[in-house]
Structure 1
Amino acid sequence: MAIHTGNIIQQPRLHYFDGELGCLHGLLLEMTEQLILQLEQTLHALDYADMALALSVIERDVKINAYHAKIETEVRGVLGRQGTLANDLRTVLRISNIADALEKTGNEITDFAARIPALTLRDQSEKPELLTDIFNIGGLIKIMLNKMTAVLESRDSNQAYKLMHYGLHCETQVQEGIKQQLALVLQNPELLDPALDALYILKTLERCSEHCRKIAGYLIFMLDSIDIRGYLHAEPIRT
């Protein structure tokens, strides 16, 4: 039965669909929290040359893949049902997009963890200069993932705009980090091999940032119905 308000006809939302959306949001939140743990432990493994911890990060990527698979199964189930509203279907499709981006972020973190032995088995006196940028940018990625959980928990789009802002800042920091790595090599050519490993990790973190920025765009579309895909290199900040 439709609810009439003047000339506007508003269709009632389906309660079971609300429940399914809540379930999907919950899975996204759990998946994001798992990624935060993965990143934290990867950075810890790099800092303390903990090969066992790095290996556990790589092995635990199957959990991220399992979350992705479960979300996709739920999404297909929702899309296969009749009677859902167009806005709700668009929301479900964005949830699928977010899950894809989170899964790709997990792959990048796994690649990061797999590169740790190449850096930590070298002369530890080289470590501070080579790894400073990695830890700084890794910290920015962690903030972005935390902003993501804040959006999913509060449904506050302001946090999504802040997430976009951090993504733009992270992109700038990566470029600065690459320049610094190259400067180190010019000063000391013996650092070429470890610097290349550090550059590889910086590029994985850069891709993590790109995935997070895409997620920010999906979240803004879900919450504000604003499509900012054409403005990913702009700086839409809300305070």
Structure 2
Amino acid sequence: MTFVPQRRLALLGGGFSTDTDDLLDDWVLSRVPVSRPRVCFVPTASGDAPAYIEQFLGTYRSRSCEPSVLPLFRRNLDDDALRAFLLSQDTIYVGGGNTANMLTVWRAHGVDRLLREAFNHGILLCGISAGANCWAEGSHTDSFGPLTHLPDGLGLLPGSVCPHYDSEPGRRTSYQEAVASHALPAGWAVEDGVGALFTNGHLTESVTRTPQARLYRVDPAPGGRATEQAMPCRLLT
């Protein structure tokens, strides 16, 4: 009988770059069933910003894991080494920044195909902001300046994603309008502080580091409207 690994990804509304309590980072690590998971940070969306990389390393070096970084703007791995490196990870953590630029760079280097392969191998994929947007079929983004819809993504998660649903002015209204008009498919709106785990395309766990933060399912409704449904979230402590 052939073993088929579970395909898992997590949308994060926080973590090492925005929070001080490390609750979401600990939650991510707890979802990997090994004692010292290998965690690779992919900072492409920020242009491989050095301060962002150091922030990741400063947080994850103090945890029970083996952190590493994949830079693409000064890439030092050939294609075979790049594939071997990514497929040796237990978790791949994608940082925030510009979603559209990140997807373009990934495709130029073949990272989009490797992430799909990693996903199919059972490696946990996760990320914040652009690093949450990228996994879906489409997303809500400020990649082009004003808030807009981006009908582009890796398509590993059915539907669309909207990050910063509660914290950035206009996000909630603009995302609902995009879903209502079918510019984006129905999807998931992530408030800051939330973590959402999907297994084989289905929501299997949602958590929050703050009592008020929620994950929402946003669907089109008759009359050119959209509806949102709050998902139960377990409070992390």
TM category (shorter chain) comes to under 0.3
> Whose strand proportion is higher, 1 or 2?
2
- The higher radius of gyration belongs to 1
Point out which structure has higher relative CO (alpha carbons under 8 A, 6+ apart): 1
TM-score by length of 1: 0.28
TM-score by length of 2: 0.28
